[in-house]
Amino acid sequence: MNIFLLVSVILLTETFAGAVCEALNVTVIPMPTAKCSEGENVTLECHISQKRRSTSLITVRWLFSLSPGEEDSLMVKMNKFGEVQYYGNYSLQIHRQRLQLLREAGGLVYKLLLLNVRQSDQGYYICKVQEVGKHKNKWTAWSNGTATTILKVISPTTSNVPTSRKKAGEIWKLFEDLYLCSVLVCSFGIICVLLFTLIIICQTLFNRRRSKAARC
Protein backbone atom coordinates (compact mmCIF):
# COMPACT_ATOMS: atom_id res chain seq x y z
CA MET A 1 0.00 0.00 0.00
CA ASN A 2 2.82 2.38 0.94
CA ILE A 3 4.64 1.58 -2.33
CA PHE A 4 1.47 2.33 -4.31
CA LEU A 5 1.07 5.69 -2.54
CA LEU A 6 4.74 6.55 -3.14
CA VAL A 7 4.47 5.74 -6.85
CA SER A 8 1.27 7.80 -7.11
CA VAL A 9 2.93 10.80 -5.43
CA ILE A 10 5.92 10.60 -7.80
CA LEU A 11 3.69 10.45 -10.89
CA LEU A 12 1.58 13.38 -9.70
CA THR A 13 4.71 15.40 -8.94
CA GLU A 14 6.15 14.78 -12.41
CA THR A 15 2.85 15.66 -14.03
CA PHE A 16 2.56 18.87 -12.02
CA ALA A 17 6.17 19.81 -12.70
CA GLY A 18 5.63 19.30 -16.42
CA ALA A 19 2.58 21.53 -16.40
CA VAL A 20 4.29 24.38 -14.56
CA CYS A 21 5.63 27.09 -16.88
CA GLU A 22 9.10 28.20 -15.79
CA ALA A 23 10.93 31.42 -16.59
CA LEU A 24 13.19 31.52 -19.64
CA ASN A 25 16.22 33.83 -19.72
CA VAL A 26 15.75 36.22 -22.67
CA THR A 27 17.86 39.26 -23.63
CA VAL A 28 17.44 41.84 -26.39
CA ILE A 29 20.54 43.40 -27.95
CA PRO A 30 21.15 46.33 -28.06
CA MET A 31 19.72 47.04 -24.64
CA PRO A 32 18.28 49.15 -23.06
CA THR A 33 18.33 51.54 -26.03
CA ALA A 34 19.03 51.21 -29.75
CA LYS A 35 19.71 54.34 -31.81
CA CYS A 36 19.73 54.87 -35.55
CA SER A 37 19.20 57.67 -38.03
CA GLU A 38 16.08 57.95 -40.14
CA GLY A 39 16.46 55.99 -43.39
CA GLU A 40 19.01 53.54 -41.97
CA ASN A 41 18.56 49.83 -41.20
CA VAL A 42 18.58 48.47 -37.66
CA THR A 43 18.77 44.93 -36.23
CA LEU A 44 17.30 43.92 -32.87
CA GLU A 45 18.52 40.56 -31.58
CA CYS A 46 16.54 38.39 -29.18
CA HIS A 47 18.90 35.98 -27.38
CA ILE A 48 17.79 32.88 -25.51
CA SER A 49 20.39 31.69 -23.02
CA GLN A 50 19.35 28.04 -22.80
CA LYS A 51 16.31 25.92 -23.46
CA ARG A 52 14.84 23.96 -20.56
CA ARG A 53 14.48 20.82 -22.65
CA SER A 54 16.66 19.78 -25.58
CA THR A 55 13.70 18.36 -27.49
CA SER A 56 11.45 21.41 -27.07
CA LEU A 57 10.68 24.00 -29.76
CA ILE A 58 10.67 27.80 -29.62
CA THR A 59 7.98 30.30 -30.55
CA VAL A 60 9.02 33.96 -30.83
CA ARG A 61 6.80 37.05 -31.00
CA TRP A 62 7.93 40.63 -31.57
CA LEU A 63 5.56 43.31 -30.31
CA PHE A 64 5.63 47.10 -30.60
CA SER A 65 4.40 49.87 -28.33
CA LEU A 66 4.78 53.65 -28.57
CA SER A 67 4.99 54.00 -24.79
CA PRO A 68 4.91 51.72 -21.72
CA GLY A 69 1.30 52.57 -20.97
CA GLU A 70 -0.05 51.73 -24.42
CA GLU A 71 -1.25 48.32 -25.53
CA ASP A 72 1.34 46.18 -27.30
CA SER A 73 0.76 45.46 -30.99
CA LEU A 74 1.86 42.07 -32.33
CA MET A 75 4.12 42.66 -35.32
CA VAL A 76 5.54 39.33 -36.38
CA LYS A 77 5.73 35.78 -35.06
CA MET A 78 7.86 32.73 -35.81
CA ASN A 79 6.04 29.61 -34.71
CA LYS A 80 7.58 26.40 -33.41
CA PHE A 81 8.00 25.10 -36.97
CA GLY A 82 9.95 28.17 -38.13
CA GLU A 83 7.08 29.71 -40.10
CA VAL A 84 6.91 33.53 -40.06
CA GLN A 85 3.53 35.21 -39.72
CA TYR A 86 2.74 38.96 -39.86
CA TYR A 87 -0.09 40.64 -37.97
CA GLY A 88 -2.16 43.81 -38.14
CA ASN A 89 -0.81 46.61 -40.31
CA TYR A 90 2.47 44.73 -40.54
CA SER A 91 0.78 42.13 -42.72
CA LEU A 92 0.45 44.75 -45.48
CA GLN A 93 2.98 44.42 -48.27
CA ILE A 94 4.33 47.94 -47.74
CA HIS A 95 5.31 47.05 -44.16
CA ARG A 96 6.37 43.45 -44.79
CA GLN A 97 9.04 44.70 -47.18
CA ARG A 98 10.64 46.59 -44.30
CA LEU A 99 10.32 43.86 -41.68
CA GLN A 100 12.19 40.55 -41.46
CA LEU A 101 12.49 37.92 -38.74
CA LEU A 102 15.46 35.55 -38.95
CA ARG A 103 16.55 32.60 -36.80
CA GLU A 104 20.23 31.96 -36.14
CA ALA A 105 22.64 30.18 -33.75
CA GLY A 106 20.68 26.95 -33.74
CA GLY A 107 17.43 28.60 -32.76
CA LEU A 108 18.83 30.62 -29.83
CA VAL A 109 19.02 34.00 -31.61
CA TYR A 110 16.08 35.66 -33.40
CA LYS A 111 16.89 38.82 -35.35
CA LEU A 112 14.30 41.45 -36.15
CA LEU A 113 15.43 43.55 -39.14
CA LEU A 114 13.86 46.97 -39.68
CA LEU A 115 14.72 48.42 -43.08
CA ASN A 116 14.56 52.10 -44.01
CA VAL A 117 13.67 53.16 -40.48
CA ARG A 118 11.10 55.93 -40.09
CA GLN A 119 10.27 58.28 -37.26
CA SER A 120 7.07 56.29 -36.65
CA ASP A 121 9.20 53.22 -35.85
CA GLN A 122 10.44 54.83 -32.65
CA GLY A 123 9.15 53.11 -29.54
CA TYR A 124 9.35 49.97 -27.41
CA TYR A 125 10.12 46.58 -28.96
CA ILE A 126 9.21 43.53 -26.91
CA CYS A 127 10.48 40.04 -27.63
CA LYS A 128 8.30 37.30 -26.13
CA VAL A 129 9.64 33.75 -26.22
CA GLN A 130 7.79 30.56 -25.41
CA GLU A 131 9.35 27.12 -25.15
CA VAL A 132 6.88 24.38 -26.03
CA GLY A 133 6.97 20.61 -26.14
CA LYS A 134 4.65 17.65 -26.38
CA HIS A 135 3.18 16.29 -23.18
CA LYS A 136 0.67 13.50 -23.46
CA ASN A 137 0.33 14.20 -27.20
CA LYS A 138 -0.46 17.85 -26.54
CA TRP A 139 1.71 20.92 -27.05
CA THR A 140 2.54 22.34 -23.65
CA ALA A 141 4.43 25.51 -22.69
CA TRP A 142 7.46 24.61 -20.60
CA SER A 143 8.80 28.13 -20.08
CA ASN A 144 8.30 31.79 -21.05
CA GLY A 145 10.60 34.80 -21.31
CA THR A 146 10.30 38.48 -22.21
CA ALA A 147 12.78 41.26 -22.92
CA THR A 148 12.35 44.86 -24.09
CA THR A 149 14.45 47.52 -25.75
CA ILE A 150 13.76 51.10 -26.86
CA LEU A 151 14.42 52.24 -30.40
CA LYS A 152 15.23 55.94 -30.81
CA VAL A 153 15.17 57.33 -34.36
CA ILE A 154 17.26 60.42 -35.02
CA SER A 155 15.80 62.69 -37.68
CA PRO A 156 18.14 64.55 -40.10
CA THR A 157 17.19 67.94 -38.64
CA THR A 158 18.02 66.72 -35.13
CA SER A 159 21.32 65.24 -36.19
CA ASN A 160 22.31 68.47 -37.96
CA VAL A 161 21.69 70.71 -34.97
CA PRO A 162 25.14 70.22 -33.37
CA THR A 163 26.85 70.80 -36.73
CA SER A 164 24.89 74.02 -37.30
CA ARG A 165 25.79 75.25 -33.85
CA LYS A 166 29.39 74.38 -34.45
CA LYS A 167 29.42 76.29 -37.74
CA ALA A 168 27.76 79.27 -36.07
CA GLY A 169 30.42 79.21 -33.37
CA GLU A 170 33.18 79.10 -35.97
CA ILE A 171 31.67 82.04 -37.87
CA TRP A 172 31.33 84.04 -34.65
CA LYS A 173 34.95 83.26 -33.76
CA LEU A 174 35.98 84.46 -37.22
CA PHE A 175 34.14 87.76 -36.63
CA GLU A 176 35.87 88.11 -33.28
CA ASP A 177 39.27 87.60 -34.96
CA LEU A 178 38.38 90.15 -37.66
CA TYR A 179 37.27 92.64 -35.00
CA LEU A 180 40.54 92.18 -33.14
CA CYS A 181 42.52 92.67 -36.34
CA SER A 182 40.52 95.83 -37.13
CA VAL A 183 41.22 97.25 -33.67
CA LEU A 184 44.93 96.54 -34.05
CA VAL A 185 45.04 98.13 -37.51
CA CYS A 186 43.16 101.20 -36.30
CA SER A 187 45.43 101.50 -33.28
CA PHE A 188 48.50 101.25 -35.48
CA GLY A 189 47.05 103.93 -37.81
CA ILE A 190 46.34 106.27 -34.91
CA ILE A 191 49.88 105.80 -33.59
CA CYS A 192 51.29 106.52 -37.05
CA VAL A 193 49.20 109.73 -37.31
CA LEU A 194 50.36 110.86 -33.86
CA LEU A 195 53.99 110.18 -34.75
CA PHE A 196 53.62 112.04 -38.05
CA THR A 197 52.01 114.99 -36.26
CA LEU A 198 54.80 115.00 -33.67
CA ILE A 199 57.42 114.99 -36.43
CA ILE A 200 55.70 117.92 -38.18
CA ILE A 201 55.57 119.91 -34.94
CA CYS A 202 59.19 119.20 -34.19
CA GLN A 203 60.17 120.13 -37.72
CA THR A 204 58.19 123.38 -37.50
CA LEU A 205 59.81 124.36 -34.18
CA PHE A 206 63.24 123.52 -35.53
CA ASN A 207 62.66 125.68 -38.61
CA ARG A 208 61.49 128.62 -36.48
CA ARG A 209 64.54 128.46 -34.24
CA ARG A 210 66.74 128.21 -37.28
CA SER A 211 65.09 131.27 -38.84
CA LYS A 212 65.58 133.30 -35.62
CA ALA A 213 69.20 132.22 -35.41
CA ALA A 214 69.80 133.35 -39.03
CA ARG A 215 68.33 136.81 -38.34
CA CYS A 216 70.52 137.33 -35.37
161-175 per-position pLDDT tens digit: 455 565 666 777 776
Residue 150 makes CB contacts below 8 A (sequence gap 6+) with: 32, 33, 34, 123, 124, 125
Nearest to 28 by CA among 126, 117, 116, 159: 126
Residue-wise pLDDT for 123-164, tens only, equals 999 999 999 988 787 888 888 999 999 999 998 775 454 555
Q: What is the pLDDT of residue 168?
A: 65
Region 170-191 average pLDDT: 80
Q: What is the pLDDT of residue 158?
A: 52
Phi, psi for 87 (deg, rounded to 5): -130, 155
The answer to which of 32-41, 107-116, 135-144, 173-182 has the lowest mean pLDDT is: 173-182
Report pTM: 0.63
Nearest to 109 by CA among 90, 127, 91: 127
CA distances from 80 to 25, 32, 103, 133, 208 (A): 18, 27, 11, 9, 116
Residue 31 makes CB contacts below 8 A (sequence gap 6+) with: 147, 149
Question: How far apart (Å, rounded) are the C-alpha atoms in residues 81 and 178?
Answer: 72
